[in-house]
Amino acid sequence: MSTLTLKDGTEIFYKDQGEGPVLMFHHGWPLSSDDWDAQVIFFLKKGYRVITHDRRGHGRSSQNIYNHTIEQYASDAAELVEFLDLKDVVHIGHSTGGGEVIRYVNKYANGRAKKAVLISAIPPVMLKSENNPDGVPMEVFDNIREQTMNNRNQFYYDLTFPFYGYNREGANVKDGVQRNWWRQGLMGGIVAHYDGIKAFSETDLTEDLKAVDIPVLVMHGEDDQIVPIANAALKSIKLLKNGKLITYPGFPHGMPTTKHQTINKDILEFIQE
C-alpha cells in the first residue's frame, strides 16, 4: 500500500500503476479509488500510467474530520501530483471528483495538466438559489445529511438504486455492484462524508470553468438522477473555453461502472485527439 503524508498530517492512500502517458482519476462521494476499477484495467492495457487515490476521509486514507471542501480536495491532489512529479496529466473526475478536477486544473495545476474529463460532474453548482433557480433544493441535501448521520448503513445501499438507474423499469440490477458501492462508502469516515455533502452541493465552480483553457471533455447521462444534466453538464459546456460535450440517452449517474465500455472508449478517443 502506498500513502503520502500531506502537509497537514493527513495520510492519502494512492495507487500508481503502469507506465506511459499519465491519467489521474478522482472519485465521487462517498466512494474510493476502487470505483475506477473498470477504467484502471482498461487504460493499463492501453499503455497508460494510471494514478488513483482515496480522498481525505474516504476509503483507506486517514479518516480526517477536518477541511472537507473542494478547495482542500484540489490542494490534496496537487500535493500528490507534485510528490509523484507527474507532468502532462489527463485528470478525470466523476461527480464530486469532477469538481475537484476543475478546481485543481484552474488553481493548482501549474502547467502539469494536459486535459480534463468531467463525468456526471457537479459543476457549476448543484444547490438551488436565486442565481441558480433550477438547481437542487436544499431540503434534498438536508435529507442526505440526515440519512448519512442516522441511517448510513441502509441509506448507502438504498442510494445505489437511483445512482445506477436500478430503479428504472427493465434495469439489469447487479447486487454485486450495489454491495461494492456500499463497501466503499462504509470504508470512509462518517464526518468526512457528512461535511462532504456541503462541499459537493454548495461549491460554486463557475469561475473555475470559465478560467480553464485546456481541453475539457464533459460527459453526462441524460437519466442522471443524482446530478441532473440540465443543471450540470449543459451549463458547464457553455462556460468552458475549450469544451466538448457528450450526452448519453438513458445513462445513469454511475455510468463509469454500468456503461464502462462506452465511457472508456469515449475517454480514450478524447485523450488521443
- Mind telling me the catalytic residues? 95, 224, 253
List CB contacts of 35: < 8 A, sequence separation 6 or more: 27, 28, 94, 181, 184, 256, 257
Cα(204)–Cα(10) distance, integer angstroms: 25
Cα(61)–Cα(124) distance, integer angstroms: 27
Q: Is 173 exposed, middle or buried (0-12, 13-18, 19+ CB in 10 A)?
A: middle
Contact 49, 16 (CB under 8 A): yes
231 DSSP assignment: G
Torsion, Cα of 209, 210, 212, 214 (10° steps): 100
Cα(124)–Cα(214) distance, integer angstroms: 17
Alpha helices in the chain (DSSP H): 37-45, 70-84, 96-107, 138-150, 152-158, 160-163, 175-187, 190-202, 206-211, 233-239, 255-258, 260-272
Q: Which residues pair with 117 in a beta bridge?
A: 92, 217
Q: Distance from CA of residue 81 to its chain's centroid? A: 17
Type of residue found at 33: S
